[in-house]
Chains A and B, each alone.
Chain A
Amino acid sequence: MNDNNNLIISKNLSKKYKEHLVVDNLNLTIKKGEIFGLLGPNGAGKSTFILMTLGLTEPTSGSISVAGFNSTREPLKVKRITGYLPEKVGFYDDMTAKGNLAYTAELNNIPFREIPKKIDATLEMVALSKNKNQIVKTFSKGMKQRLGIADVLIKEPELIIFDEPTEGLDVKVANQMLQTILDLNNEKNITFLLSSHQLNLMQRVCPRVGILSRGKLITEGTVESLGRNMFGGGKYRIEIELEKVPGEIIEKFKKLDKVVNVIRTDNQIQIVCDKDIRQDISRLITSEGILMTRMDMKQDALEEIYLKYFKEE
C-alpha cells in the first residue's frame, strides 16, 4: 500500500495510439482527500489519462498507481476503490434505479443481504429514494447524473473520477451536483478527480487544477498560485481606465505600497498587487486631476488563466 499521503501517482506516463502521442510524459500526484480538476481542450488527453488511471487502457511507457496499486498490473484492486462516472453516463433503461444499482453492487462483490440496505442509503444521499422503483428511461438528465453518483457511491470508493460532471446540466442541477461533490469530500473525505471544460464551475470546487495540452501537463497548482505565476505575482489585479494616461503616473502607481507590477494597454492600466489598494489608486488619480472612467478588481479567474495559456500556445 501507499505509505504517503498521495492517492494517485503518475510517473513519466505516456500513451501512443499508433504514431499519435496522446499523453506525453505526464507526472502528477493527487493527494488523499483533495478535489483535483483536470482541464484542457478536447483531445488534450484527459480521458486517456482517466482510462489509464482505471487500468482500462495500458500506458505505452511510465506508470500510474492509485493508493499504491499499479493500475496496469492490478486493475481490479484499483477499480475496487475507484468510482468512475463517464461523461455520457449510461444505465440499463428498462431496469429500475434499484435494479441498476443492484447490478453494480453484485459486480463489486457486495454480499447479497447487504445490497438492499446499501441501495437505500445511496439513493437517499442523492435524493432519489422516491424514485427507487422507477424505470431509468423515465429519468431526467439530472436524475440520471444523480443516479450515476449513487452508482459510484455504492462501492464506497476512496477515489471518484468524474468526466465532465456538469456537462448538459442546467445551472440549478449543476450547482446541486457540485454541492454533492463538496459534501462527499467534506463528510467522507473522498478524493475527487474532475475533468471538465466548465471552468467557472470547476473553480468553485477544485482548489488545485492541472492544465493539459496535447498530452502534456503544462501547469498545475492552486488557482491562486497559477494566477500569480501567470500575471507576474500579486493576488489582486486592479484594472482602471483613464481618460488620458500621462507617462509619469505609471511610475507613481509602481511606487504605491504592495504593488507588484503595472501593465499599460492604451488607456487601460492593470495594477497587480498583494492587497486591495483601490482607495490609494483613487486618491492618486484624483490628486493628479485625471478623469477615471472605470475601475474593476479581479481575483485570479481560472478561465483567464486557462485562456491565457492557450492564447500563448
Chain B
Amino acid sequence: MRSILTVYRKELSDHFSSNKFLILLALIYIAGLSSTYVALTNIREAASSVTGNVFLYLFTTGGDVLPSFITFISFFIPIIGIIFGFDAINSEKNSGNLSRLLSQPIYRDSVINGKFLAGITTLTIIITSIVIIISGVGLFAIGVPPTSQEILRIFFFIFICIFYGGFWMGLAILFSVIMDKTAASILTSIAIWIFLFLFLGIIANAIANAMVPLADNATIADQIKNYSIEQGISRISPATLFTEAITVILLPVEGAILVNPVAYQQYAGSQNLLNPLSIGQSLIQVWPQLIIIIALAIICFAASYIIFMRQEIRST
C-alpha cells in the first residue's frame, strides 16, 4: 500500500508541476468563467420560463456566441483524461525508468494504480475547483443560494464528470500500455474521441434517415421511430451518454424530454411545460447511462491493468 502511495504522491506532484496541467487549468478556467458571464447575462430570460432550480442555470445557460458550461466541460473532460493518461506507461518504458522502477521492492500494479489514482485526483481537483468558482461567482452575482436539491445535483454532476474522465483516462492508459510510442497512443486516443464526439452523431443521423425517411408530412410515429434509431446508435458513444446524464441531472425539465423520445414529441407538439423531476427521479431516468459510463471506465482501466501485469519487462 505504501508503494502505491509513493507512486501516487510522485505522480501527483509531477502533474501539478507540469506545464500541461497549468495550460489545461487556464483553458478550463477561461472557458468556465466565460460561460458563467454568458449565463449571468442570459439567466433572467432562461429562468423566467420555468420555476425553480435557478442556480443550475449557471451551468446550463449558453448564449449565441459562447455555449454553456456543460457544453464546454463535455469537450474538455476527454482532453483532460487523454492528456493525463496517454504516456503513463510507455514514457516510463522509453525513458528506461520502468525496469529500474520495477526492480524496487514493489508490486507491479502499484505503478499503474498509483498513476491512475493520481490522474483521477488531478481531474477531480480541476473539475471541482471550476464548479466551486462558478458557484461562488454565480452566488455573488445572482444572490440566490442553491437549494439542497441543487447542491445534490451539482454533486452528482461532478461525480459523473469524474467517471467520464476516468473512462478517457483508462482508454489513454490502455493505449500507453499497448503502444510503445507516446505519439501513437495520444493520436489513437484523440482519433477515437473525434469519432465518438463528432462523427458518430452524423452517422447515426444518416442511418436513421435511411431507415425511416422523414418527409414533410411524416407521422408522429415515424418521427419517434427516426429519433429512437438515431438516439440508439448515438448511445454507442460515451460522449452521448455523458451529455444525456448531465443534462438530465442539471436540467430537471428539459433533460427529461431529451432522453425520452415520446416526451420529446409531446413537448414539441403541445409546447406545454412538464413538471421538473426530483433528484431521485432524475437519477432513475439516467441510471443506465451512469452505469455504462462507470462500467466503461472500469473496463478500460481493468484491460490496461491486466495487459500491463502480463507484459514482459525488458531490461531497457
Q: Which residues of A contact B (CB under 8 A)?
A: 17, 47, 50-51, 54, 56-57, 76-77, 79-80, 82-94, 103-104, 106-109, 151, 155, 163
Contact = CB atoms under 8 A, between A and B. Distances in A.
A90 B95 contact: yes
Given A79-B105, A103-B10, A104-B104, A17 B96 contact: no
A154 B101 CA distance: 14
A108 B102 contact: no
Interface in B97-137: 97-107
A57 B313 CA distance: 7
Nearest to A89: B96
Given A92-B97, A103-B6, A107-B3, A56 B105 contact: no
A104 B7 CA distance: 10
Contact of A86 (B17, B106, B312, B316): B316
Contacts of B14: 92, 94
Contact of B315 (A51, A77, A103, A155): A51
Nearest to A76: B105
Q: How large is the interface on B (under 10, 10 to 19, 20 to 34, 35 or more residues)?
A: 20 to 34
Contact of A108 (B95, B98, B105, B312): B105
Given A51-B313, A56-B313, A79 B10 contact: no
Contacts of A56: 99, 102-103, 313
A86 B100 contact: yes
Given A17-B312, A51-B315, A107-B3, A84 B105 contact: no
Interface string B243-283: 00000000000000000000000000000000000000000
B315 A80 contact: no
A86 B105 contact: no
Interface in B47-104: 92, 95-104
Given A80-B105, A108-B104, A86 B6 contact: no
Interface of B: 2-3, 6-7, 10, 14, 17, 92, 95-107, 312-316
A76 B105 CA distance: 5
Given A86-B100, A155-B104, 17 more contacts: A47-B315, A54-B103, A79-B105, A83-B103, A86-B103, A88-B316, A89-B96, A90-B95, A93-B95, A103-B10, A104-B104, A107-B6, A107-B7, A107-B101, A109-B2, A151-B100, A163-B315
Contacts of A84: 99-100, 103
3 smallest beta-carbon distances between A and B, as pairs: A90-B96, A84-B103, A90-B97
A50 B314 CA distance: 10
Contacts of B10: 103
B176 to A, nearest CB: 16
A91 B106 contact: no
Contact of B107 (A76, A77, A151): A76
Contacts of B104: 79, 104, 107-108, 155
17 contacts: A47-B315, A57-B312, A57-B313, A79-B103, A79-B104, A85-B100, A86-B100, A86-B315, A87-B315, A87-B316, A89-B100, A91-B97, A93-B95, A94-B14, A107-B7, A107-B101, A107-B104
B316 A109 contact: no
A86 B95 CA distance: 11
